[in-house]
Each structure stands twice: as structure tokens, then as C-alpha cells.
Structure 1
Amino acid sequence: MANVNPSSFQSTLDRKLRTELLADKDVKWALQRVEKVTTGLGFTARRRLLANSLRLTRSMAPAVAEALAECKEMLGYDKPVEVFVRPDPMINASAVYNPPGHPLIVLSSRLIEVFTEAELRFVMGHELGHLTFEHFAIPMPVTAIAEDAAGVIVPRHTALKLYLWCRAAEVSADRAGLLCGKDPDAAASGFFKLASGLASGFVKPDLEAYSRQVDSLVSAPSARAKPREDDDTLDCFSTHPFSPLRVRAVVAFSKSKTYRALVGRSGGGEGLSDEEVDSIIERDFREMDASYLEEQSPHAELLRRALFLGGLLVAHAHEGVSERELQALSALLGSEHVGVLPSVDAARRELTDVSARVREKAPTSERARLLQHLTLVAAADGNVAEEEFMELQGLAAALSVPVSLIDETLRGAAHPLD
């Protein structure tokens, strides 16, 4: 099929956030610093792959080569791409931006063994989507943590905005994968295999349930505006490939007029409008909003105080508060909120009262967001010690948020674009 214009199906939020971030002066400076440090490392990455992986040719893996060719034609991507297989019992895939060399797509040996042709086209399309949309123009997570002589360059909630953009970029890449695979069921099963490692047919994702969710949200606009307190509220913070946010977004796009027109299935004007699809995605992304860091209200101040006290205790848990951790806390809250540090005992006593008020007044999504931000503070020095992890577990209990969110946040910070 003839190629399509990628801008016709790119997530609106991906495009909006990317434009804003690339215009941000601090992000620009961070990107300059990153480029200075990483220039010339592309050949090193390729040499490492040649030493530990196998470059796939058409004669070795005709199905992989065919999937790549079909995806490149569909997306109009005309640059050379090399595909490597890495011996790995886990099911995973990644794209590697490799200047000055060619871009790379790396597949695990397990993925090639267990993915169907449709699932393979989906995952190849997804990785090629990252390259097509030039998502690596903002390399993450290095842009969020880049430093100059004065410390971390990107301030406050710009760093959180960068991570939010990564989630939106995944939505665009998933749409590219769906266009290449042309099969929502294959996309969902591919997500599920990536997340679970299961290849048998005994456990299957319930795609129809997501389809019903999308239909109900479209038919009831008021439901999209309501605060989230449903069973999958916390899944908005998930970085797993099978997160309901991503599956729901793929299903919504598969029902859109845009998708149906691009794959030649349009007829009678049926399908969701782009605005309806975007509204469903924005409903989920609203739960990750960091506006409480800027708002001036008693409720926002309560949340900021919880973040300050919790961050202080986590940072102190292992060898005291490091300068890097204090910078991370200041970057989130602003230096005006990080003044004289209370003693650990005083902070712990105050946090007991503050966390009780947060449990009473804040919905699940806000409490989850607090724990997510506290975890990012703990990871600011590049390592989360056992003592810090135990402190985070205590905070999770105090906020009535599952401990698993800590692992999700750490994974997402390390690998924001999969």
C-alpha cells in the first residue's frame, strides 16, 4: 500500500508537547549539552551490537525483512535501517538512534520465536514510528537529568513534562504499529506478550472490554470529565507495554475515521473523529498532570508539603541528604519551598499528620502522583539504595498507594521510550 503522511495520525498531545519542549530555552541548552557528550557514540553502539548480537539479513530472516520493508513503505520512511537479534529469553524490542550511522532496531531472539507475522509487523511499525516521528530528537532520560556547572539544567515540572511527552510519543508509535499490522487484536496480543512473557493461547487480552470502554466514553462526554476513581486509575501511571492507557488508545484509534481511511476501510463516514479519540487519551493523561506544583491553593500546598517532607525522609534514609537529591526536590517544588530543613524526627511527625489529611482529601490519582514524584527524587542521584526503597514503601502505605508503583516509576525513568 502507498505510504501515508505521518502527521495525519500523530498524537495531538505528542505534537503539542514536543513543539513546546523544543522551544523551551532550558531544554535547548540541555540538548546542546547532551549532544556534546554523546557525539560520535553511534559507531560504539553498533560495534557493541556486532559483538553481542547478530545482524539479520533477508536470507537469514525473510519474515523480519519483509515486515520491515512493508512498514517502511507504509510510513514513508526511506532511510536505511539495520535489524539485529540479541540472544535474550525475554520478549522485547527497541529502536536505537545511531548517528552518524544508520538507525537500528534490536529484537530479542524470544520475540522472533513467538510473535506472529501480524504481531511482528506491529512491533516493527512501533519502533519505526519512533524513528519516523524523530522522537530521538529529545533523547530521554538524559535530557531531563543533563547538567552544567550550575547543576541540573531542566527545572521544575519541565522534567515531568518531558516524561509526559514520552508517554504521548508512545501513543504515536503505537498508531504507526497498528497501521503497519492492520490488526488491533495483533497489537493487543503483542502488548500482552511483551508485558507477560507468555506465548501460549491460554491467557488472552480481553480486547472487547476495551472496545466497550471506548464506546461508553464517546457516548458519555461527562464521564470523560469526571475525576478518575475507577479500577484502572493507577494504570495511568503504568509503564508496562500492556498498560490499559496504551491498549485503550490503540483501540480508540482503530475505531477512528482517520485509521479506517488510511487502511482503506472507510465507508459511509463511520468512525470516531480525531477530537473524540484525543479526548479519550487526554482523560488518561490528565491523571499524570503536575499542576499542583504550580497552583496556589490550600489543597495544592498540602500536596507540596507532603512531597517536601516525604522527599526529605527518603533522601535522608541513605547517608543523609545529598546535594543532588536536594536539587531534585528544589527542581520540583521551587527553592522557595525548600528552606530550613527540619530534623528527621520532626519531619516524620509532621508527615504522619499531613499524609492522613492527604488520604482524606486527595483522590487515588493524586496520591499515586505524589508517590511517583517522591520516587523520582529518590532516583535523582542515579541510585535507589535499599534504605530509600524501604522508606518509599512506608510512604506508599501511608498514602494508601500500591508499592508496585515505585518499580513502575523507576522503570519508566530509566527507559521512557520503549
Structure 2
Amino acid sequence: MATVNPGFFQSTLDRRLRSELMADKDVKWALQRVDKVTTGLGFTARRRLLSNALRLTRSMAPGVANALAACKEVLGYDKPVEVFVKPDPMINAAAVYNPPGNPIIVLSSRLIEVFTEAELRFVMGHELGHLTFEHFSIPMPATAIVEDAAGVIVPRHTALKLYMWCRAAEVSADRAGLLCGKDPEAAASGFFKLASGLSSGFVKPDLEAYARQVDSLVSAPSARAKPREDDDSLDCFSTHPFSPLRVRAVVAFSKSRKYRELTGLAASGEGLSDEEMDSIIERDFREMDPSYLEEKSPHAELLRRALFLGGLLVAHAHEGVSERELQALSALLGSEHVGAMPSVDAARRELKDVVARVRQDAPTLERARLLQHLTLVAAADGNVAEEEFMELQAMAEALSVPLSLVDETLRGAAHPLD
């Protein structure tokens, strides 16, 4: 396949959110601060890899070298890239931005053992996509949590937007991977292996069925004819998920006019238009958007109150509620929704009633989204104390959503652009 201009297939949401964030004054200051704090750390990252990983050469791993060369040709990426393999029983991969040295792609030894050639091109194309789109120009999660003398620079509502951009960036990188692998089924099996750690041929991943898991979250339980076996699949709300949402975005791209023309699979004009493809992605991302923070309705007010009260209890759990934490909640919710701070006992009593109403009125998706935002508030300073985690666990139980959602959100917040 000939070289493709990455601008032709970049996610519209990725492009728009990045443009808005790069123009934000708080993000600009945070980026300056991150650059000052991290200058020179690139060499440290490479030295660390040299001590506990193996740099692959073409003679050592010709298959890996060929996959990288093919991906670079498709994406028009002409800069040197080093590839390291790290001894690891888990299946994972990551790109490392390494100024002033060359970028690095790190693959686990388990991934190299169990991925097929097409799957390897997909995952390496994904990581190379992050480098091609220069996603590391907004380093995450550092930009969301970096501090100056006054505290965390980026307010919480902007931090949520940064994490949403990370998810949109994953869509662009997945498209790069699909173009490099040229095989939607290989993308499906790659997703499945990354998510499950399984490599057995006894389980055959179904791309479309996996993508349909999103539908079980968008509708309320009462709207379904019968329970579905995938109702507990809430991992699409983490900041960097191997999730049904990402898979559905890949499905949409694989059926798009643009993909089919670029790969020579169909005559011009066949497939989904850009508008149709983007509408699918925008709809799914809209379900994850913290829109209730701005909406004016009794239901949105109920969700905001739950976030405020839950945020107070999480903040109080570890060394009490500080003025800075109260300011953070005000930045997220707006000062008009914060008001006077109740006592801890009063907040806990009110929250019990508020959460009961949320559990009754809100579909699974909204309850999951509420817990995700509460988790991001707790994690915005880069650390979640054990006492805070216990409060999040209680909130998950009260909202009838799995605690694993907290784990996935914390994991994604720590590694949003792997």
C-alpha cells in the first residue's frame, strides 16, 4: 500500500480536542512546567531499558523489523525508531517519546511470542501512530497533574477534557494500526489478546460482537427484553481501554469509504462517509462526556450533587478536606453547585439518599460515568490513598457498578497513551 497522509484518517475528535487544549492557557502553562521538570529524562528512560530489556536488531528479529518497516512506509514516518523487547509474561506494548534521542517502541516478550504477523503490524502501527500524530506533545498524565507553587495547574474540568482527548487519540492510533495491518480480523484478535492475555485458538474473537457491548451500556436495564451476558462490561469508561468503544471505532473505520479506498478494497464511493463514521464515534464519546456538569435539569443536578458529596467524602478520607481540594471540586462543578460544605456525617447521610435516587433513575452508563469522574478527581493529584480507595469502593457498591471500573480508570489515568 502506498504512503498515506495521516491527516486523511486522523480522528476529527482527536484533532478538535487537541486544538482546543493547545490553546488553553492553563494547559500551556502546564506544558511549560512539564518540559522544565522532565528535560533530560529521555536518556534516563533509554538507559533504564538498556538495563532491563533487549534492543532488537534486524538479525535478531527480522519479523519485527519487517513489520516496523512496513508501518513506517504506510504512515510516511521517516525518523529512526528503536524497538526493545522486555521480559514480561503479560501481553503489552508501548511507545516511548525519548527526546533528544530516537523514539522507542517497547514490546513484551509474550506479545512477540503469540502475535501473528498481521497482529504485530496492527499493534506496531498503533504505537507508530502515536508518534506520527505527535500525541506526546501533550504528555499525559503529567499535563493533568503537574503542579506549581499554587498547586495543580490544570483545573479538574480541563483534566477531564485531557483524558477524553487521550481516548480520541487512541482512535487515531488504532486507525493507523488498521491501515498498517490491513486486516480487521487481525485487529480484533489483537484487541482480544491484549485485553484477555489469552492466545489460545479455542476462543475466536468476533469484532462486531465485541463492539456491540457498548449497546448494553447505553440503554437502561428496563429497556432490554432480557439480560445480556455482557452487561458487566464497563471497561469502556477507563481513560485508555482495550474496549468495545475502541473496537466499534475500528469497525466503523474498516467499513468507511476512506479505508476501503486507501487499501484498494472497493471502488470509489462505497462504504461509510466521513460524516457517518464520525457520527458513530461522536455518539459513543458523547456517552462518556461529562455533560451533566453543564446541563440544567433536575436529573443533572442530582448527578452533580452525588459527585460533590462523593468528592467530599473521598477527600476527607485521607487527612481531611483541604482548601485546595474544595477549590478543585468548585473548578469541576462550578462554585454555584458547591455552596456551603456540610459536615462529614451530614454529607454521608445525604449521599445515601442521593445515590439511592441515582441508582433508581440513572442507567448503567450514567452511574459508571459518575464513578469514573469521581475516580479521576481522586487521582488528579497523581495519588490515591488507601482510605480514598475504600470510599470509592463503597461508592461503586452503592451505585451497583463493579469496583473494577475504579481499577481500570486508575490504570488508564497512569498510562493513557500506551
- Within 5 Å, give how 1:58-69 maps onto structure 2: 58-69=58-69
After the TM superposition, which of the residue ranges 326-335 and 100-109 deviates more from structure 2? 326-335
Alpha-carbon distance, 1:146 to partner: 1.7
Opposite residue 159 of structure 2, the aligned amino acid is A
Write the deviation string for residues 131-161 of structure 1: whole angstroms up to 9, x where unpaired. Answer: 0000001100111112222221112411111
Match of 1:165 in 2: 165
Q: Percent identity?
A: 86
Alpha-carbon distance in 1 for matches of 2:199, 2:233 = 27
Is it true that 1:147 corresponds to 2:169 in the alignment?
A: no
Match of 1:267 in 2: 267
Match of 2:12 in 1: 12
Alpha-carbon distance, 1:318 to partner: 2.9
Match of 2:317 in 1: 317
After the TM superposition, which of the residue ranges 400-409 and 105-114 deviates more from structure 2? 400-409
Alpha-carbon distance, 1:338 to partner: 3.9
Alpha-carbon distance in 2 for matches of 1:271, 1:339 = 52
Alpha-carbon distance in 2 for matches of 1:270, 1:301 = 45
- Within 5 Å, give how 1:25-104 maps onto structure 2: 25-104=25-104
Is it true that 1:203 corresponds to 2:203 in the alignment?
A: yes
- Within 5 Å, give how 1:211-226 maps onto structure 2: none
Alpha-carbon distance in 2 for matches of 1:345, 1:188 = 49
Indicate if the aligned counterparts of 1:191 and 1:241 stay in contact, CA closer than 8 A. no
Indicate if the aligned counterparts of 2:313 and 2:347 stay in contact, CA closer than 8 A. yes
Alpha-carbon distance in 1 for matches of 2:52, 2:218 = 48
Indicate if the aligned counterparts of 2:240 and 2:417 stay in contact, CA closer than 8 A. no
- Within 5 Å, give how 1:113-124 maps onto structure 2: 113-124=113-124
Alpha-carbon distance, 1:53 to partner: 0.9
Alpha-carbon distance in 2 for matches of 1:324, 1:191 = 40
Alpha-carbon distance in 1 for matches of 2:210, 2:198 = 20
Alpha-carbon distance in 2 for matches of 1:99, 1:240 = 23
Is it true that 1:399 corresponds to 2:407 in the alignment?
A: no
Alpha-carbon distance in 2 for matches of 1:251, 1:147 = 39
After the TM superposition, which of the residue ranges 192-201 and 171-180 deviates more from structure 2? 192-201
Alpha-carbon distance, 1:28 to partner: 0.9
After the TM superposition, which of the residue ranges 198-207 and 7-16 deviates more from structure 2? 198-207
Alpha-carbon distance, 1:353 to partner: 1.4
Alpha-carbon distance in 2 for matches of 1:324, 1:54 = 44
After the TM superposition, which of the residue ranges 265-274 and 19-28 deviates more from structure 2? 265-274
Alpha-carbon distance, 1:66 to partner: 0.5
Alpha-carbon distance, 1:35 to partner: 0.7
Opposite residue 142 of structure 2, the aligned amino acid is V
Alpha-carbon distance in 2 for matches of 1:228, 1:32 = 42
The 3-state SS of whatever aligns with 1:94 is strand
Alpha-carbon distance, 1:260 to partner: 0.9
Indicate if the aligned counterparts of 1:324 and 1:380 stay in contact, CA closer than 8 A. no
Match of 2:258 in 1: 258
Alpha-carbon distance, 1:323 to partner: 5.2
The 3-state SS of whatever aligns with 2:380 is helix
Residues 3 and 318 of structure 1, relative CA distance in 2, 3 Å threshold: same
Match of 1:302 in 2: 302
Is it true that 1:138 corresponds to 2:133 in the alignment?
A: no
The 3-state SS of whatever aligns with 2:267 is coil
Indicate if the aligned counterparts of 2:208 and 2:251 stay in contact, CA closer than 8 A. no
The 3-state SS of whatever aligns with 1:83 is strand
Alpha-carbon distance in 2 for matches of 1:7, 1:268 = 19
Match of 1:23 in 2: 23
Match of 2:228 in 1: none
Indicate if the aligned counterparts of 1:193 and 1:199 stay in contact, CA closer than 8 A. yes
Residues 323 and 88 of structure 1, relative CA distance in 2, 3 Å threshold: farther
Match of 1:413 in 2: 413
Alpha-carbon distance, 1:268 to partner: 5.8
- Within 5 Å, give how 1:171-186 maps onto structure 2: 171-186=171-186
Match of 2:246 in 1: 246
Write the deviation string for residues 257-306 of structure 1: whole angstroms up to 9, x where unpaired. Answer: 10011112222632111111111111211111112222333322221111
Alpha-carbon distance, 1:2 to partner: 2.1
Alpha-carbon distance, 1:86 to partner: 0.8
Indicate if the aligned counterparts of 2:239 and 2:413 stay in contact, CA closer than 8 A. no
- Within 5 Å, give how 1:300-379 maps onto structure 2: 300-322=300-322, 325-379=325-379
Indicate if the aligned counterparts of 1:152 and 1:327 stay in contact, CA closer than 8 A. no
Alpha-carbon distance in 2 for matches of 1:134, 1:180 = 18
Alpha-carbon distance, 1:176 to partner: 0.3
Residues 300 and 233 of structure 1, relative CA distance in 2, 3 Å threshold: farther
Alpha-carbon distance in 1 for matches of 2:352, 2:232 = 27
Residues 60 and 16 of structure 1, relative CA distance in 2, 3 Å threshold: same
Give the TM-score, by structure 2 length: 0.92
Indicate if the aligned counterparts of 1:147 and 1:153 stay in contact, CA closer than 8 A. yes
The 3-state SS of whatever aligns with 2:85 is strand
Match of 1:220 in 2: none
Indicate if the aligned counterparts of 1:43 and 1:101 stay in contact, CA closer than 8 A. yes
The 3-state SS of whatever aligns with 2:234 is helix
The 3-state SS of whatever aligns with 2:101 is coil
Indicate if the aligned counterparts of 2:5 and 2:76 stay in contact, CA closer than 8 A. yes
Indicate if the aligned counterparts of 1:195 and 1:240 stay in contact, CA closer than 8 A. no
The 3-state SS of whatever aligns with 1:402 is coil
Alpha-carbon distance in 2 for matches of 1:245, 1:363 = 17
Consecutive unaligned residues in structure 1, runs of 5 or more: 218-222
The 3-state SS of whatever aligns with 1:198 is coil
Indicate if the aligned counterparts of 1:396 and 1:403 stay in contact, CA closer than 8 A. yes
